[in-house]
Structure 1
Amino acid sequence: MNVAVALKAQKPESMQHEESTSEQRIGLLREEVAEGSDSAGSSTALGGSNLDLSAGKENLNVLQAMGKLNFWLLFLAMACGMGSGLATVNNISQIGGSLGYTSKETSTLVSLWSIWNFSGRFGAGFISDHFLRQRGVGRPFFIGATLLIMSVGHVIISSGLAASLYIGSVLVGLCYGCQWALMPSITSEIFGLNHFGTIFNMVAVASPVGSYILSVRVVGYIYDMESPPDEHACQGKHCFALSFFIMACVCLFGSAVAFVLFIRTRKFYRQVVYARLKSFLEK
């Protein structure tokens, strides 16, 4: 008994901190299981307890992560946001041409999109860090918020009004950059760092999947349907109006999915991620 006490006293402080964090996580998970059993009837629509934190267990491998609902919620939200963002930038020249923009003006649109894409990547990291550090707000909240704003951008583009493509491109580019900044942080926090590279790249597959569906099967298909039979080009706002309205609805759906992920992980963020970050900052 004395030997065990002596060995425990010799453990490095970092190991003792890890053990206390693990004990806190286990207790949190047990608490969530109890809460989930009490509220099973009200949370059936979310596939179980709203605050099921079993997917928040650190250091999952890729197969374990893919077996969690939180993984697919994040994947689906990213497919909606990144897919619609890529569909916009991939077709921005054709959109400009159909609305009567010159080649110089469409080049400006691409530049605007790129600049605000960079700004979003920088700003999302700073803002999400601030709210996580100060209030314990989980990063999935900001995925939902950016998808909501991106939906507004798509609606503006679909209107075909004067300067709508400029305003819409700025909003879509900004939110697209935000999502690329938030996705790796969320992945590492929810699923851990041991297999971060593999899990992150599996989540990132959502980008080409969403892009193919929205760019080829939605935007491209509707553009071809709206084009005159004997011509390869379409002129007028009708060429893309329906496509961007559909993408606005897709982003609204993605926003709802992201907010479900936020609700499911908010207690995990407050009691584990926020507590760990606060402990680190106080050292």
Structure 2
Amino acid sequence: MDLLSKLNDSNYSITTEEGLEEEERSLNESVDSISTIGKNKNLLKNEKNSIKQKQPHSVQKKKKDKSLHRFYKPPHFIKNVETQRILSILWGILTILASGTLYGFSIISNEIRDKLEYSQTDIGLAISIGDVGMYIGLTVGFFFDLFGPFFTNGLATIFYVIGCMGVWAIVKGYITSSVYLLSFFLFIIGQSSYGSFTACVVANVHNYSIKHRGKISGVLVGMFALSAGVFGVIYKLFFKTNLEGYLLFIAILLSIVSFIATYIVRLVKIEGVEEPEIFDETNENEDNEQQKKQQNEAYQSDDDINEKQKYIISKDEESNLNGSGNGIITNGNNNNTNNNISNNDKTKLLGEGSSSSSSSLSSSPSNSNLSSHLNSIDTSNPNFLDGKRDVSGLKLLKMVEFWGLWIIYFFAGGCSIMFLNNIAIMAESLREPDSTQSNLVIVFSIGNLIGRVGMGFLSDLISKKVSRFWCVVLSSLIITLTHLVCAFELKPIFYPATLFTGIGYGGIVSIMVLLATFRFGPRRFGLNFGFLALSSASGALIFSTFSSKVYDRLSENSIDGQCYGNHCFVLSFIISFSVNLLSIIIAINFIKF
């Protein structure tokens, strides 16, 4: 029986003086013990608070700046940031408008084929390699992620000079007319186009708030689509009989525009334009490890005292938590479990961790911000993942969603570029006038522009009600139905078919740019979209080469070595219809994400 129980017990009495003194000493020791426990509690609490206050500062020192504003920006002669933002987007529009010239290469493909005495397969291969260069963004995209828009536009300028001057020199006869050398120079032009496109789109899109980025992105990628039409008109009006002069004009213009973009196109810090909060498990784990390390170092310095303090406090808390207190703790644990289930599901959707990592969110105090962030996500919004991820590298390649988009872009983008690359030979096969091919390239560009800008606005318009994947479905559906009709009769609908193929292609490109930014994060957009755009480049190469092979095979029995009639392209259109129908099915299955 302890002292307090004895004092409360009415049957217990002190009968001797020695007993009284003994009880008094015991009472004093108990009071001292209780005082010591209180002091130790306060000491431990103060020590923990001190560690917590020091931790964020030390952790922040080791964190690198991962925002897009970390990139180098040359001094600007205009100090007003709003004016800088306006100049950036205006020159970005001009730069992208100039950088899509490879789209219009089919205008001069027949002239180059005849001048250099290539076969249709040869010129088709060269154009397809150029398309690969324009869409294989792993190289230039990774370069942008490392160095930003200034150096990326600088690299694009160098590539424009090499590539455009190389093509001009081949056509002029200054260097050998090897089809592989022409392919190499077109590939270099494609790489420069991708560099300019990435630098101008990423910089300008992130100069505006997330609710306007679909529209900004649509306008910018629309300029890329319009490029072929603009330069088609320029060639038709001023360079119809001067192929070498047109190529030299392209080389000079693109180099100058891209060089000026290195100075004007930039990321501008605007008040009120903030990036959405991104779930980054890697950073959280680094913070947790750092905090644990500091805690261990702090407690190891006075190990014996801490052990005694922990023992005293645990005993004191154990005696005070009997009865109803245990029920409270149990209820609290149940609540935490429920929260973990919810956060676990969200963590899996964010694509950044496992159940084991997410289960520790509420158990570790250092994860309280992350846990509250997960709880704040409104899953009722069909696009609630927009801007919440920061995924790249191996994690990106392990995501089913990424490969779904990759396959869709492979089919839709590849078949659309196949159509564009074959416009000249289709017009010739259908015995259309010589002006038809340049007219059709302009029509394709207009459709491409409508698709890119329209899908950007549409995605923002429907984003609060339905999934953005419906835009993928719509774009693929346009291509599917158009090419199904073309397989049966192309000549009467040549112009409308070109227009709708351009609309479908423009829409798929626009929504892929948006999804790469929103679903995987802006920090590594260059590399991520480079992986994604590789599918379109691969599709263009495979489908265009296949179509050219079929054409050459059907031309073997012809007197003049050419194939005439709709049957020259029936097989190509049937395959395009089939694979794009598969794209629609894949996109519908991904709407749940």
TM bin (shorter chain)? 0.7 to 0.9
Are 2:498 and 1:169 aligned? yes
Code of the residue aligned with 1:82 in structure 2: it is G
Q: 1:237 aligns with which of 566, 574, 578?
A: 566
Q: 1:125 aligns with which of 456, 465, 476?
A: 456
> Using the alignment, how far apart are the partners of 1:68 and 1:238 within structure 2?
41
Are 2:397 and 1:80 aligned? no
Unaligned runs of 5+ in 1: 8-14, 35-50, 266-283
Structure 1 residue 235, shift from structure 2 partner: 0.4
Structure 1 residue 94, shift from structure 2 partner: 0.8
Q: 2:468 aligns with which of 136, 139, 150?
A: 139
Q: 2:516 aligns with which of 180, 183, 187?
A: 187
Identity across matched positions, percent: 27
Residue in structure 2 matched with residue 59 of structure 1 by the alignment: 390
- Superposed CA deviations along residues 210-238 of structure 1, whole A, max 9, x for unmatched, are 00111102x11221222233543100111
Q: 2:485 aligns with which of 148, 153, 156?
A: 156
For the 8 Å contact 1:92–1:106, the answer to whether it is kept is yes
Matches of residues 194-233 of structure 1 in structure 2 within 5 Å?
194-217=523-546, 219-229=547-557, 231-233=560-562
Are 2:422 and 1:97 aligned? no
Unaligned runs of 5+ in 2: 1-44, 54-273, 282-338, 356-381
- Superposed CA deviations along residues 23-79 of structure 1, whole A, max 9, x for unmatched, are 998354269799xxxxxxxxxxxxxxxx9x99x971112221011111110000001
Deviates more, 1:224-233 or 1:62-71: 224-233
Code of the residue aligned with 1:225 in structure 2: it is R
For the 8 Å contact 1:226–1:239, the answer to whether it is kept is yes
For the 8 Å contact 1:154–1:244, the answer to whether it is kept is yes
- Larger Cα-atom Rg: 2
Counterparts in 2 of 1:21 and 1:224: CA distance versus 1, 3 Å: closer
For the 8 Å contact 2:410–2:536, the answer to whether it is kept is yes
Counterparts in 2 of 1:216 and 1:19: CA distance versus 1, 3 Å: closer
> Using the alignment, how far apart are the partners of 2:449 and 2:278 within structure 1?
39
Query: How many equivalent pairs are there?
Result: 235
Code of the residue aligned with 1:228 in structure 2: it is E
Specify which structure has the bigger relative contact order, considering alpha-carbon pairs within 8 angstroms and separated by 6 or more residues. 1
> Using the alignment, how far apart are the partners of 2:567 and 2:280 within structure 1?
56
Q: 1:26 aligns with which of 343, 351, 362?
A: 343
Counterparts in 2 of 1:89 and 1:20: CA distance versus 1, 3 Å: closer
> Using the alignment, how far apart are the partners of 2:545 and 2:490 within structure 1?
25
Code of the residue aligned with 1:221 in structure 2: it is K
For the 8 Å contact 2:430–2:491, the answer to whether it is kept is no
Residue in structure 2 matched with residue 261 of structure 1 by the alignment: 590
> Using the alignment, how far apart are the partners of 1:65 and 1:257 within structure 2?
18
Structure 1 residue 187, shift from structure 2 partner: 1.2
> Using the alignment, how far apart are the partners of 2:499 and 2:470 within structure 1?
21
> Using the alignment, how far apart are the partners of 1:19 and 1:152 within structure 2?
39
Code of the residue aligned with 2:549 in structure 1: it is Y
Code of the residue aligned with 1:226 in structure 2: it is L
Give TM-score scaled by structure 1 length: 0.73
For the 8 Å contact 1:226–1:238, the answer to whether it is kept is no
For the 8 Å contact 1:154–1:248, the answer to whether it is kept is yes
Structure 1 residue 129, shift from structure 2 partner: 0.6
Code of the residue aligned with 1:124 in structure 2: it is M
